[in-house]
Structure 1
Amino acid sequence: MAQVQLLSPDGSVRKVDRDSKEALAALRQTTALLLKAALKQEFDGIRLGEAVVDEDGFHVDSDKDDQQVSVDQLPDLAAAIKKMVKADVKVERNELSLDDALAKVGDDQYSHELLKEAANGDKVVVYDVNGVIAPAQADVLLYADIIKNYDLLSVAGAYWKGMSSNPMLQRIYGTVFFKKADLEEDLKKRQEARERDHRVIGNQLDLFFVDPKVGAGLPYWMPKGATIRRTIERYIIDREVADGYEHVYTPVLMNLDAYKTSGHWEHYRDDMFPPMDMGDGEMLELRPMNCPSHIQIYKHHIRSYRDLPLRIAELGMMHRYEKSGALSGLQRVREMTLNDGHTFVALDQIEDEFAKILRLIMDVYKDFDITDYSFRLSLRDPKNTKKYYANDEMWERSQTLLKRAMDDLHLDYYEAVGEAAFYGPKLDIQTKTALGNDETMSTIQLDFMLPDRFGLTYVGKDGKEHMPVMIHRGIVGTMERFVAYLTEIYKGAFPTWLAPEQVHIIPVSDDKHGEYAEKVAKQLKAANIRAVVDHRNEKMGYKIREAQTQKVPYTLVVGADEMANGGVSVRKYGEKDQNEMSLDDFRKAILDDIATYSREK
């Protein structure tokens, strides 16, 4: 197998397989350093920020007062990198005094900060490409002449160090591979990602928007997006109520003491918004989790064994402080609504309740046509029990029960020993995104700790108080992330039952057939079908094309013949043929489509 030589920050050189992750990371790091040198060469006075390698490629941040890098200039930068490679440029490692290093970067404030952070006393190790230096913090290629298959992809804004209080810099994204075929495959995948990007589709279909000026990470749901979300929420509530859950509403604010008791303040305070001092000693907190709220519902009454299992569910709004740089459309937000639920059970009810929740999750997946998923059962490490909640009997018994429930359902699963939460074992259900990446959609977690911390009890058959086990479960996660997931899976072509507009009705002549079109719409709406009449003064062909662009499941054209026969001309999304149907037959057909959650248009 072919190998490459890597230069490490400590000056050592080693060989690794060319197909290894280490080699790819070094290739990306080296290309990013060459991009820094190209920026310095092409733009006089430019200031250079971080050069970062991640799972998707690399990016370089920069800033210039009088001129910003545009997408049109990326080919010039790519050509400059190519020229350096042809000239046999090398990445040199040098150890400099911090003063000399700072002098080399002049008045570049960002390079100053990076060098100072990387310095060891009054010395700093740097990589040098054609006189452009950067802290040496990762392996690079010893020889850069093998950098041939790369592409500079895009330019975007990014805050320095990911903090919104810092200046906005320009970020250039790039990708690079050893093999041309790998680059071509990556570019193809990126194109598919752009076409499926829920942010792009959300804008095209007018589903939602986020305006950083009024609140980064705080999405506004437009009428169409709100319709999709509301349909999902109603579906979820109906399914959960039918499964024995009692739906509740609880406040979005809670006394900080509750989160200190739960442990959230100790372990997650960096992800929480600052507490609000009410001036009378009371400290209120925007909730990052719903569990303490549902515990209050449980505690409000004395509970008996006859009350168990007690199933509480809520579409609960939560707030988490995500850094600006991590925010992304509906996938990473600061305000979210979680399809949350908590069941309180006796120890001998765990197995049945776990299986019941799992069956509900799989039934929901079936209705949304989610078929590619796997199970990950996280268990306690028997060799290191100190980091887990101390109750050996509960751990051993519950883990045995969960395994038995999975086996009884004939489900394959991966045992992740040592990956249980500190308060109990859990099952994560991993789904595949539209691009084939794993994402945790659903979770079932047993919790022995919170019932203990909050002093939860129930009166058993023996008349004595016992502590229940709490089961946390999420069926589809947050509404925001789930809508983003579905948008990308469906590529915006939502199944009829979810589509914000299910039927688009176009009169051939609005003057002659507009009234009949409204009559058709009225009958469809009476059956709870979302229908819209297009009265605009536009050509019919344009209206039909736009209905297809908006991915409406059914387009109806009504003219003189349809009006005379009491029918409609039906065109399904993605098809060119139109079929004549009576209005009654069409209504029955679309209601069947909706009732069966069919994805066929």
Structure 2
Amino acid sequence: MNKAAPQVDDLHKLRHSLAHALAQAVLKLWPGTKITIGPPIDYGCYYDFLFETPISDADFPVIEKEMRKIIHQGQTFRSETLKTSDAKKFWNQRKQPFKVELIEDLVKNEGVKTVTHYANIGPKGEETFVDLCRGGHIENMKDIPADAFKITSLAGAYWRGDEKREQLTRVYVAAFASKKELDEYLQMMEEAKRRDHRKLGQELDLFTFSELVGPGLPLWTPRGTLLRDLLDGYVWELRQARGYQRVTIPHITKKELYETSGHWQKFSQELFRITTREGHQFCMKPMNCPHHTQIYVSQQRSYRDLPQRYAETTTCYRDEQTGELHGLSRVRSFTQDDAHVFCRRSQAAEEILKIWEIVDTFYATVGFGKLRVRLSLHDPDAMEKYLGTPEMWQSAETELRKIAIDRQADFSEAPGEAAFYGPKVDFIARDSIGREWQVATIQLDINMPERFNLFCINEEGAEERIVMIHAAIMGSLERFLSIFIEHHAGLFPLWLAPVQVALLPLADIHEHYAHEVETMLKNVGLRIHYMDHTESLGKRIREGEKLRIPYLLVMGDREATDRSVAVRNVQTKKQVTVPLEQFVERTVKDVQERKLVASIG
């Protein structure tokens, strides 16, 4: 009888247990290795090691073989609670300094007096491996399907994400409840490599990085800037139709602004700080909401003036650790399509629903299907992480929940995922290879109005506290574009393609007609790339396909005579010949209507 596969709910425990098997295998194969941490993650687990001699992917089969031995032995787990002093002694004796440091930090930061060890127990009752761990394991290693995991990659990782500390080797393992799920994941990862936005960004000449400028600071080329502007322009079009006004703020601020907002206390490690020549402390803004409050309070507001809707696309700065930077997904300078609505409590639901409409419209237009909705709530057992009182949080969360129910949204709830100043509605997009990404967000904030004393004068002439709604449609443009590029594999909808049409005359005698076509297309606003006949037609077609130009127009004798164009659709790989005027009319219509798929060919 086949053993039932572990349920999805058990995957966290399975992956956590497998991380212990990985560390145990590595220590057996390389006894002098220093071990650090090994958490479960989406799709598997990893463990960070300090090896005496480097390992490579050639070592993966050896490690996997040892891990399978551990699984087949049917090792179990046994927990033990130790005083921190005894635990430090235990790890010092085993010459594992990173574990000692972890315990010391727990004592210093959390005031713990005891820690938990989990030991792997072999078939004869012997301890085969011990780790510093809070637990969450399967009962027996045999519950891990031996054919449903695979070591996938190595990566460098600084200890604690600090580039001044030791550089470790991170070993990643993919792990699932069945071999079928593992195979599907590995296939997805192969496709993800092909779509990697870092590779496509270079190939399509969208963005670059410079060592002289610094890590995490992307530089946008003309083509990449055009793509950003088209997307941002569409967001603004949707906002402008709903009464938003543009504002502009500086990129630095006095320390006091963020002390008032709470960011200085809650966000201090991620702030780029500046000291002026007079000794005053400033910082580069990590977000925009505190600045926008100061525009609101610059005038006395009547209830008749509300809602006030401010929108701005502007760059923010966060001092991310070097080891956590990744392409456009995690950067130090990022641009937000940020908006803040200042309104009465009674107006909040209507304003949130308007933003929700923008989110749904935008993501449908740029090619994502139905978004999943998550209410990100506070953790009532960790109020020290948040501003405000439990009552304020409960009130705001109840309001968001009611809005989601009234909209008949299919939503989940995630305690502990709220921003420190308020609960939020997070929208989750699924890309074309099945990965999920958190994209847009709407936050209901009742803390910032308290801290900045935001009010309006109501019908009775009295001050009335208002609420503040934070809304980002793309969020960080950089992160959104990393998702968008990979979702479309660089072949963007026609209206967003930096170059929409390439012109390929067959020979000298066709140049005159090709230039006539070029002028006609440019006059109607299409973006053109002229590819003269100095290279062979086949090479030019391959180049156009590599650049993901939606339409390649080939022009020879027949086309020049008939005033037509041979249209090669790069997405469908089909070629049709159509009258020039028909091509222009249909293409302009597709662009104006923001069609997802080029309709010719």
- Tell me the TM-score range normalised by the shorter chain: 0.7 to 0.9
Alignment of 1:259 with 2:258, yes or no, is yes
Please tell me whether the aligned partners of residues 27 and 147 of structure 1 are also in contact (alpha carbons under 8 angstroms).
no
Please tell me whether the aligned partners of residues 30 and 144 of structure 1 are also in contact (alpha carbons under 8 angstroms).
no
Partners in 2 of 1:88 and 1:415 — Cα distance? 40
Partners in 1 of 2:314 and 2:27 — Cα distance? 49
SS of 2:529 mapped into structure 1: strand
* Partner of residue 499, structure 1: 497
Stretch moving more, 319-328 or 410-419: 410-419
Please tell me whether the aligned partners of residues 375 and 426 of structure 2 are also in contact (alpha carbons under 8 angstroms).
yes
SS of 1:59 mapped into structure 2: strand
After TM superposition, the score normalised by the length of structure 2 is: 0.82
SS of 2:549 mapped into structure 1: coil
1:446 to 444, 448, 456: 444
1:456 to 454, 457, 465: 454
Please tell me whether the aligned partners of residues 287 and 316 of structure 2 are also in contact (alpha carbons under 8 angstroms).
yes
* Partner of residue 597, structure 1: 594
For 1:270, give the aligned amino acid. Answer: Q
For 1:21, give the aligned amino acid. Answer: L
Partners in 2 of 1:423 and 1:100 — Cα distance? 42
Alignment of 1:548 with 2:534, yes or no, is no
* Partner of residue 98, structure 2: 113
Residues matched between the structures, number:
577
Query: Measured at CA, do residues 2 and 213 of structure 1 come closer, stay the same or move farther in structure 2, by a change above 3 Å?
Result: farther
1:525 to 522, 526, 529: 522
Please tell me whether the aligned partners of residues 26 and 63 of structure 2 are also in contact (alpha carbons under 8 angstroms).
no
Please tell me whether the aligned partners of residues 441 and 476 of structure 1 are also in contact (alpha carbons under 8 angstroms).
yes
Note the C-alpha offset of 1:469. Answer: 2.3
Query: Measured at CA, do residues 266 and 101 of structure 1 come closer, stay the same or move farther in structure 2, by a change above 3 Å?
Result: closer
Partners in 2 of 1:358 and 1:288 — Cα distance? 25
* Partner of residue 588, structure 1: 585
* Partner of residue 109, structure 2: none
Q: Give CA deviations for 1:485-514 in whole Å, capped at 9, x if unaligned.
A: 2122222221111112211222212x3334
Q: Give CA deviations for 1:328-375 in whole Å, capped at 9, x if unaligned.
A: 221222211111111112333333323322222222223223332133
* Partner of residue 306, structure 1: 304
SS of 1:313 mapped into structure 2: strand
* Partner of residue 108, structure 1: none
Please tell me whether the aligned partners of residues 39 and 46 of structure 1 are also in contact (alpha carbons under 8 angstroms).
no
* Partner of residue 25, structure 1: 15
* Partner of residue 245, structure 1: 244
Query: Measured at CA, do residues 415 and 232 of structure 1 come closer, stay the same or move farther in structure 2, by a change above 3 Å?
Result: same
Alignment of 1:146-161 (within 5 A): 148-149=146-147, 150-161=149-160
Alignment of 1:192 with 2:191, yes or no, is yes
* Partner of residue 107, structure 2: none
For 1:20, give the aligned amino acid. Answer: D
Query: Measured at CA, do residues 253 and 140 of structure 1 come closer, stay the same or move farther in structure 2, by a change above 3 Å?
Result: same
SS of 1:361 mapped into structure 2: helix
Q: Give CA deviations for 1:162-204 in whole Å, capped at 9, x if unaligned.
A: 2122243333322345643343233223223333432343344
Partners in 1 of 2:288 and 2:353 — Cα distance? 23
Alignment of 1:320 with 2:321, yes or no, is no
Query: Measured at CA, do residues 323 and 434 of structure 1 come closer, stay the same or move farther in structure 2, by a change above 3 Å?
Result: farther
* Partner of residue 285, structure 1: 283
2:43 to 39, 53, 56: 56
Please tell me whether the aligned partners of residues 315 and 340 of structure 1 are also in contact (alpha carbons under 8 angstroms).
yes
Please tell me whether the aligned partners of residues 522 and 528 of structure 2 are also in contact (alpha carbons under 8 angstroms).
yes
For 1:455, give the aligned amino acid. Answer: N
Alignment of 1:69 with 2:55, yes or no, is yes
Query: Measured at CA, do residues 27 and 349 of structure 1 come closer, stay the same or move farther in structure 2, by a change above 3 Å?
Result: closer
Please tell me whether the aligned partners of residues 2 and 17 of structure 1 are also in contact (alpha carbons under 8 angstroms).
no
Alignment of 1:154-553 (within 5 A): 154-177=153-176, 179-211=178-210, 214-273=213-272, 275-377=273-375, 389=388, 406=404, 409-414=407-412, 426-509=424-507, 511-535=508-532, 537-553=534-550
SS of 1:284 mapped into structure 2: strand
For 2:493, give the aligned amino acid. Answer: P
Query: Measured at CA, do residues 30 and 121 of structure 1 come closer, stay the same or move farther in structure 2, by a change above 3 Å?
Result: closer
For 1:550, give the aligned amino acid. Answer: L
Query: Measured at CA, do residues 597 and 326 of structure 1 come closer, stay the same or move farther in structure 2, by a change above 3 Å?
Result: same
SS of 2:164 mapped into structure 1: coil
Partners in 1 of 2:235 and 2:383 — Cα distance? 37
Runs of 5+ consecutive residues of structure 1 not aligned to the other structure: 5-15, 106-110
Query: Measured at CA, do residues 26 and 553 of structure 1 come closer, stay the same or move farther in structure 2, by a change above 3 Å?
Result: same
Partners in 2 of 1:238 and 1:19 — Cα distance? 43
Partners in 1 of 2:281 and 2:93 — Cα distance? 49
For 1:441, give the aligned amino acid. Answer: V
SS of 1:191 mapped into structure 2: helix
Partners in 1 of 2:72 and 2:467 — Cα distance? 68
Query: Measured at CA, do residues 38 and 219 of structure 1 come closer, stay the same or move farther in structure 2, by a change above 3 Å?
Result: farther
Q: Give CA deviations for 1:517-561 in whole Å, capped at 9, x if unaligned.
A: 333223222222111012373321122123223322111112232
SS of 1:497 mapped into structure 2: helix
Query: Measured at CA, do residues 271 and 148 of structure 1 come closer, stay the same or move farther in structure 2, by a change above 3 Å?
Result: same
Note the C-alpha offset of 1:86. Answer: 10
Q: Give CA deviations for 1:116-160 in whole Å, capped at 9, x if unaligned.
A: 645999999877999997644355876679773232212332223
Partners in 2 of 1:415 and 1:98 — Cα distance? 39
Query: Measured at CA, do residues 185 and 269 of structure 1 come closer, stay the same or move farther in structure 2, by a change above 3 Å?
Result: same
For 1:233, give the aligned amino acid. Answer: D
Note the C-alpha offset of 1:472. Answer: 1.5
Partners in 1 of 2:514 and 2:266 — Cα distance? 59
Q: Give identity over the alignment, percent.
A: 31
Partners in 1 of 2:121 and 2:88 — Cα distance? 14
Stretch moving more, 435-444 or 475-484: 435-444
Query: Measured at CA, do residues 98 and 343 of structure 1 come closer, stay the same or move farther in structure 2, by a change above 3 Å?
Result: closer
Note the C-alpha offset of 1:215. Answer: 2.2
Query: Measured at CA, do residues 366 and 182 of structure 1 come closer, stay the same or move farther in structure 2, by a change above 3 Å?
Result: closer
Note the C-alpha offset of 1:78. Answer: 4.0
Partners in 1 of 2:455 and 2:115 — Cα distance? 61
Q: Give CA deviations for 1:414-471 in whole Å, capped at 9, x if unaligned.
A: 5678976675554333333444454432222232332232233333444444333222
Partners in 2 of 1:379 and 1:61 — Cα distance? 31
For 2:280, give the aligned amino acid. Answer: E
Partners in 2 of 1:63 and 1:74 — Cα distance? 16
For 2:485, give the aligned amino acid. Answer: T
Note the C-alpha offset of 1:268. Answer: 2.0
Query: Measured at CA, do residues 375 and 276 of structure 1 come closer, stay the same or move farther in structure 2, by a change above 3 Å?
Result: same
Please tell me whether the aligned partners of residues 3 and 18 of structure 1 are also in contact (alpha carbons under 8 angstroms).
no
Query: Measured at CA, do residues 359 and 559 of structure 1 come closer, stay the same or move farther in structure 2, by a change above 3 Å?
Result: same
Query: Measured at CA, do residues 466 and 180 of structure 1 come closer, stay the same or move farther in structure 2, by a change above 3 Å?
Result: closer
Runs of 5+ consecutive residues of structure 2 not aligned to the other structure: 105-112
SS of 1:372 mapped into structure 2: coil
